Amino acid sequence: MWIATILGFVSRYAIGVVLAVAVAVGAVAGVFYLQKRDAERKLDAIQIEKERLEAAIDAYKVVIAGKDEAIEELERVQKESEQRAADLASLLEEIRSAPASDNGPIAPVLDRSLRGLSGDVVRKQPSRPSRPKGAAGRR
């Protein structure tokens, strides 16, 4: 009879232990489920932020490419300007160093322009009144 009492006692406690273990496993599973759901939400938020940042990077790449093109254009214009300045300096030196025998009669406006380019003092000639159109040759 004492064996029956022990078996009855163990089986009552065994059911309680199994029930307690089942409750504990269920609680742990619930916690893991909640943690998994929270991690998935955070991962979704990180994915959205990553896509937003990638779009911003692409936009900045376009801006940078535009600036690179502008810099290249400015460098091209600067080289052209430097070449024109060198050409002008060469022409001015040719004008300054030309022998007197190369001088001859030229239009006053051209003379003033050339003197202005060569650095000589430019004296403006009094301007003549312009004739109205159709008045040429009439007096």
pTM metric for this prediction: 0.42
pLDDT score, position 139? 42
Q: Which domain holds residue 13?
A: 2-92
Q: Is residue 134 part of a domain?
A: no
pLDDT score, position 16? 75
Q: Is residue 23 part of a domain?
A: yes
Q: Is residue 109 part of a domain?
A: no
Q: Is residue 40 part of a domain?
A: yes
Structural domains in the chain (count): 1
Helices (H) and strands (E) in the chain, counts: 2, 0
Low-confidence stretches of the chain (pLDDT beneath 50): 137-139
Nearest to 45 by CA among 57, 53, 55, 34: 53
pLDDT score, position 42? 96
Q: Is residue 139 part of a domain?
A: no
Q: Is residue 105 part of a domain?
A: no
Q: Is residue 115 part of a domain?
A: no
d(CA 36, CA 42): 10
Q: Is residue 73 part of a domain?
A: yes
